[in-house]
Amino acid sequence: SSGINAEWPLRPGYKLYFEMAVPMLRTTLTLTPSATRGMATLKDIEMRLKSVKNMKKITSSMKMVSAAKFARAERALKPARAYGTGAASLYEKNDFDTSGKDSVLLALSSDRGLCGGIHSNVGKMVKAAHAETPITKAIIVGDKAKAILVKVIGDTFLSCFNNVGKKPTSFTDALDIAEEVLSHDYDTINIVYSKFKNIVSYNTEEKPVPSLESVESNAAIYVYDEVDSEVLRCYQEFTLANIIYHSMKECEASEQSSRMSAMENATKNAGEKIDALTLQYNRTRQAVITRELIEIISGASALE
Amino acid sequence: SGINAEWHYGRVEDMAFRSLAIRSAALCRRAMATEASTNTFPLTFGSPSKNIHDGTAVKQVDIPSTTGHFGILPNHVPTIAILLPGVVSIQPEAGDVQKFFVSSGTATIHPDSTVQILAEEICDVGDIDVAAARSGLEAAQSKLASASSEVDKATAQIEVDVYQSMVASA
């Protein structure tokens, strides 16, 4: 009789070997790590499966955490939006000169990653603006934007803020940033931030804010009655803090929603990978059993 | 036939009546709009964390500013003002006067009669605890008396002013 012949059903006589061999095989499976022809061993697949399952747990819990943070951020964004658009109304209803040569870039991002394209989009917009007109002064908020931009405009950094993203931003944070901005001379501030559109999308935008000098030098301001320079200076400073606060709240909502969808995608991909790996694991397991059976059977038939 | 003619006549009459109705409705609406704009103006009033009004039509707003306490009516002269700690009272289109204590902020009246009042902290006058405000005032007054440097004196003076206006408004 021929050697290897594993056609099912087994020829009678070998059935006994099969009934004895299967329980023996089950105990020997874990002791046979030999790979045949580059096929991944059972142990390898098992390890990969375990690590992907862990990853899925982590991404799924990150998604839930950022969903909770997003709900909070969106709720805080509503009054912040009314507040910020009210603050910017003076600049929107009047055309103040924002094309000043001496402009400061304020890039808003955060310290934490895994949020889709938020930080890289801010970096892209800044790099594009830098290619058009070179940036001379920059204030960076968030370690991620700093890491992206340090190679491009690192020598223009006036100051950097970090510890952003762990807790929701407060008005005091915006006041600190505004104070830092106002301590430098400039014609315009260009704020680059991520504006929240809806739960699945955001836009990276650049918002120019004129300085006290460019507002004072524009005749349009004198439509407003009884405006002396002290009042105007206080007004400008407060308005700048308000606009920065609004932009930071928009960034927060965009970042949390983006992280939520990024983690959801990661969880979905991990799930698909787990399915594919499980199939591969089962197929490999069956192939190992079949191989052992063939060896036993061919060994037994050689004895005849 | 007779029926056709009747129907045709009725339809023409109907159309004429309908166009008259449409025209008079448009006139009514225009009249109402002008009446609204002379009576009220849109107000946006909020703090970074709380929004009280967002473009709601109100009749009058009184604000405490550095140039004095003044009231804003529709078609007020455009101006910008800095708020002092004090009470902002709002007369909405319908209902009672609303009073809020504000810490500080800005007020803007635009040429198109829209008003934005932005304050750092807003609290309803009814929520102020008079006893706590009074004890805070006493503490601030003693701090002012014992203050040495200019910065300390100025900070203590600001505290005294705020507590005084809080006590006065409650």
pLDDT at B3: 40
Give the best residue of A172, A234, A243 to mutate against chain B (max B CB count within 10 A).
A234
Interface contact B141, partner A, CB < 8 A: no
Give the range among A101-115, A123-137, A211-225 with minimum mean pLDDT. A211-225
Q: What is the pLDDT of residues A40-54, one digit of tens each?
A: 789 999 999 999 999
pLDDT at A124: 95
0.95 surpassed by complex ipTM: no
Q: In angstroms, rounded to a whole number, what is the distance separating the alpha carbons of residues A63 and B115?
A: 41
Q: What is the pLDDT of residues B16-61, one digit of tens each?
A: 556 665 565 555 555 444 444 578 899 999 999 999 999 899 999 9
Burial A4-39 (b: 16+ CB within 10 A, else e): eeeeeeeeeebeebeeebeeebeeeeeeeeeeeeee
Shortest CA distance from B51: residue in chain A: A79
pLDDT at B22: 59
Contact A285, A42 (CB under 8 A): yes
Q: Which is higher by pLDDT, B3 or A283? A: A283
Residues of B in contact with A238 (CB under 8 A): 82, 105-106, 118
Q: What is the pLDDT of residues A105-131, one digit of tens each?
A: 999 999 999 999 999 999 999 999 999
pLDDT at A2: 42
Give the range among A9-18, A216-225, B49-58 with minimum mean pLDDT. A9-18
| CB proximity under 8 Å: A 148-187 to B | 171, 174
Residues of A in contact with B118 (CB under 8 A): 83, 86-87, 238, 242
Q: Which is higher by pLDDT, B170 or A289? A: A289
- pLDDT of A32 higher than 60: no
pLDDT at B132: 86
Mean pLDDT of chain A: 87
- pLDDT of B164 higher than 90: no
Q: 3-class DSSP state for residue A189?
A: strand
Q: Which is higher by pLDDT, A220 or A154? A: A154
**DSSP H or E stretch at residue B116:** strand B115-119
Interface contact B148, partner A, CB < 8 A: no
What is the CB-side half-sphere exposure of residue B169 using CA atoms within 13 A?
26
pLDDT at B165: 83
Sorting pLDDT into bands at 50, 70 and 90, what band is A82? Answer: very high
Mean pLDDT over A164-183 rounds to: 92
Interface contact B50, partner A, CB < 8 A: yes
- pLDDT of B8 higher than 90: no
Looking at the complex, report in whole angstroms how far the Cα of residue A201 sits from the nearest Cα belonging to chain B. Answer: 24
Interface contact A80, partner B, CB < 8 A: yes
Give the range among A131-145, B8-22, B108-122 with minimum mean pLDDT. B8-22
Interface contact B38, partner A, CB < 8 A: no
End-to-end CA distance of chain B: 82
Q: Kindly state the percentage of chain B with pLDDT values over 70.
A: 78
Helices assigned H by DSSP within chain A:
15-28, 42-87, 89-93, 118-132, 143-153, 171-182, 212-216, 229-303
pLDDT at B9: 46
Mean pLDDT over B64-85 rounds to: 90
